[in-house]
């Protein structure tokens, strides 16, 4: 579904991504793990069209990816940004409708809204509540729900568990699996390496803008280097 080949990104004199290549197969959850400043969010922002790479190629379904962010959304890619960036002064329902802003299929939008409330019952309970008054976990659910309302094939999730209480983290990763079960493909950027590897089919380790390791996520969970660097286990 998505192929990234030899991506190089600079912020001024900083070489943020260095020859990054990744493949995302349809229906998979692919996790990108790495510490702060590794280039994970930069990678997602390149796919979304927010950051322009200096070199490299991004193919979506075998074709060069559109350049304009709204065209990328129209093509079936949505990004749920880091930090739960919601419309704080709008209600839950209004936020969700904003996710469907580019869509014309009104009946399907209403059907998808019901699906969101099934996936996130808490949002249904707070349908008319102003989004800025929700808890952090509820805001994360809303950001994910709003993304799904664009009816994407590929969902880019940027640090969905960041700053959340353990109970909400568990819920968020259960929902990641539910989204995959809906037939969506997911590219997940996450600092919680254990959770990210537990839900993924494939994973990439990104360190200082370079892919240093890739493979089957379950195998990487058992890798001693990963356990020591990211899972806090010493050998």
- Measure the CA–CA gap between 216 and 235, rounded to whole angstroms: 22
Residue 206 lies in a domain: yes
Residue 124 lies in a domain: no
Residue 222 lies in a domain: yes
Can you tell me the mean pLDDT for 50-62? 95
Q: How confident is the model at residue 163 (pLDDT cuts 50, 70, 90)?
A: confident
- Measure the CA–CA gap between 14 and 120, rounded to whole angstroms: 40
Most confident of 92-96, 104-108, 178-182: 92-96
CATH number of the domain to which 216 belongs: 3.40.50.300
Domain with 47, as residue range(s), is 1-76+153-160+187-235
Q: How confident is the model at residue 233 (pLDDT cuts 50, 70, 90)?
A: low
What is the pTM for the complete model shown?
A: 0.92
Number of domains observed in the structure of the chain: 1
Please give the pLDDT value at position 186: 97
Residue 87 lies in a domain: no
State the chain's maximal CA–CA distance in angstroms.
56
The three-state secondary structure class of 59 is strand
Which sign does the torsion angle of CA 120, 105, 131, 43 carry?
Answer: positive
Residue 172 lies in a domain: no
Which tens digit of pLDDT belongs to each residue from 170-218?
999 999 999 999 999 999 999 889 999 999 999 999 999 999 999 999 9
């Amino acid at each position: 579904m998505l192929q990234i080949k030899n991506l190089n990104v600079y912020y001024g004199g900083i070489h943020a991504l260095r020859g990054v290549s990744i493949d995302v197969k349809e229906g998979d959850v692919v996790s990108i793990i790495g510490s702060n400043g590794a280039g994970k969010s930069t990678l997602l922002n390149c796919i979304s069209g927010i950051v322009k790479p200096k070199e490299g190629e991004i193919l979506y379904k075998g074709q060069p990816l559109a350049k304009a962010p709204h065209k990328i959304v129209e093509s079936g890619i949505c990004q749920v940004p880091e930090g739960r960036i919601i419309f704080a002064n709008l209600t839950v329902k209004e936020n969700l409708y904003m996710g469907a802003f580019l869509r014309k299929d009104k009946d399907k939008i209403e059907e998808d809204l019901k699906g969101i409330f099934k996936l996130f019952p808490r949002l249904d309970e707070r349908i008319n509540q102003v989004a800025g008054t929700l808890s952090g976990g509820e805001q994360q659910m809303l950001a994910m729900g709003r993304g799904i309302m664009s009816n994407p094939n590929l969902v880019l999730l940027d640090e969905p568990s960041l700053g959340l209480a353990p109970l909400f983290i568990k819920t968020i990763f259960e929902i990641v699996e539910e989204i995959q079960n809906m037939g969506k493909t997911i590219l997940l950027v996450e600092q919680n390496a254990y959770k990210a590897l537990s839900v993924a089919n494939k994973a990439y380790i990104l360190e200082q803008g370079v892919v240093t390791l890739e493979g089957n996520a379950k195998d990487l969970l058992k890798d001693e280097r990963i356990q020591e660097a990211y899972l806090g286990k010493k050998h």
